[in-house]
Amino acid sequence: MLPRLQFHVGEPFQSRRHAEVFGCGFSNRRLQASRHRSEVQLLEFLFERRHRFPFRLDIRRIDGLATPTDQFFAVQHPLRLGAVERLAGSGQSFDVIDAHYFYPDGVAAGLLGHALGLPVVITGRGTDLTLIPRAPLARRQIQWAADQANAMITVCEDLRQRLLLLGAAADRTIVLRNGVDLDRFTPPQVAPHRSDRFSLLSVGSLIPRKGYELTIGALPSLPDCDLTIAGSGPLRAELEALAQGLGVAARVRFLGEVPHAELPNLYRAADMLVLASEREGWANVLLEAMACGTPVVATNVNGSAEAVCSPAAGLLAQERSVAGIRDAILALRRAMPSRQDTRRHACRFSWQQTARANRELLIAAAAAGRAGRGSPVAAQAARASLAESGLVPTPV
């Protein structure tokens, strides 16, 4: 029987033991938020594509602990689990495998769970459920991994529906949306000076799916608007050339990569954030801007409709095109919400509730063990936590 796992929220806590979590491809703040309030130790798996095998899996400790140097191929049979076995032999035990992205991380987590007799939790975050399942082999592997999981999490309802279409059990899936750091992303203390120019902001990597060409393409029809773009990527020269060709280069400013700590000032200085993406599991920039009191225009893709769900948040474009982005910007300008209302909307998406529900899910999964992989108990624990926080949990 597993020892009882103890966590407290909102205060320091010294537990009798640590809850150990296998974090496969750990890249999110959700578990970090839980860890900040709990005695949770993490292992991180780093994946690298190989020409001969689907993945190479490196194991390393985070939290400043020793790093095993062994590597093993997660899909080789028999599994080379030397590093894991040595950790276990040294007294290191694990309660649950927590994987982020269904492919390849979730597939490897399923293999590890099977080999080690551990429960598995997998989170879908975007491309792993929107694009990768189009490949038949990857699709079958994702479906297999879903069968191995005690619980499956998605960051928005759109991704959950895609997961259900792949055959995942509805009662073992739940939406735990990304939150926003409401202490870091805050409105300006003093209202910024406004000129007769209207300031648009876009934040993200300069890659095709972000749709910067649509926002730049709208500028000739928005003569009093200036656009600031924060981000780096392979399309910068192409986008600069587009702005030059459209005669709007003087109104487009490329900042390059901006440290995350400096983003709040950019959001506060902008009149509106524009996100013209082709797909977004859950776009954190939308909540970050809104938490700073800046309304948003976004394309209606994946989780964006769940974030931009009231007039205080901003507006969804009717279509993903130059005209669609232009019309949405003009429409929002005609009905701009107050910064206070936009901030209040963002406050619905604190990390606190998500972290608490995630913690309850991991506790329930660990308690159920590997034998609970066909049971809805872990997802039910998270639903109960969301309901207690006053949030509407995922329907079954």
DSSP 166: T
Buried b (16+ CB within 10 A) or exposed e, 263-288: bbebbbebbbbbbbbebbbbbbbbbb
The secondary structure element, H or E, covering residue 47 is strand 40-48
The residue type found at 277 is: S
Question: Where, residue-wise, is CATH 3.40.50.2000 in the chain?
Answer: 19-179+352-388, 198-348
The 10s digit of each residue's pLDDT in 186-219 is 999 877 666 789 999 999 999 999 999 999 999 9
Q: Identify the three-state secondary structure at position 287.
A: helix
pLDDT in tens, 311-360: 999 999 999 999 999 999 999 999 999 999 999 999 988 888 888 899 99
What pTM, to 2 d.p., does this model score?
Answer: 0.74
pLDDT band at 150 (very low <50, low <70, confident <90, very high): very high
- Return d(Cα 99, Cα 159) in angstroms, integer: 16
Q: What are phi and psi of 356, to 5 degrees?
A: -65, -45
User: Who contacts 186 (Cβ-Cβ below 8 Å, separation ≥6)?
Assistant: 264, 291, 292, 343
At residue 81, the pLDDT reads: 59
Classify strands 40-48 and 56-61 as parallel, antiparallel or unpaired.
antiparallel
| Those residues with Cβ within 8 angstroms of residue 39's Cβ, 6 or more apart along the chain or in another chain | 6, 7, 13, 14, 15, 17, 18, 19
CA separation for the pair 138, 141 (Å, rounded) = 5
For the stretch 3-17, pLDDT in tens is 333 222 222 222 223
Return the CATH number of the domain spanning residue range 198-348. Answer: 3.40.50.2000
d(CA 75, CA 111): 7
Q: Which of these CATH numbers, 3.40.605.10, 3.40.50.2000, 2.40.110.10, 3.30.160.270, describes 19-179+352-388?
A: 3.40.50.2000
Asked if 314 and 272 touch (Cβ cutoff 8 Å), the reply is yes
The DSSP element (H or E) to which 297 belongs, if any, is strand 296-298
pLDDT in the model for residue 159: 93
For the segment 56-84, what is each residue's pLDDT rounded down to a tens digit? 333 333 333 222 322 322 333 334 456 66
In tens, the pLDDT along 257-296 reads 999 999 999 999 999 999 999 988 888 899 999 999 999 9
Tokens of 295: 């309304």
DSSP bridge pairs for 59:
45
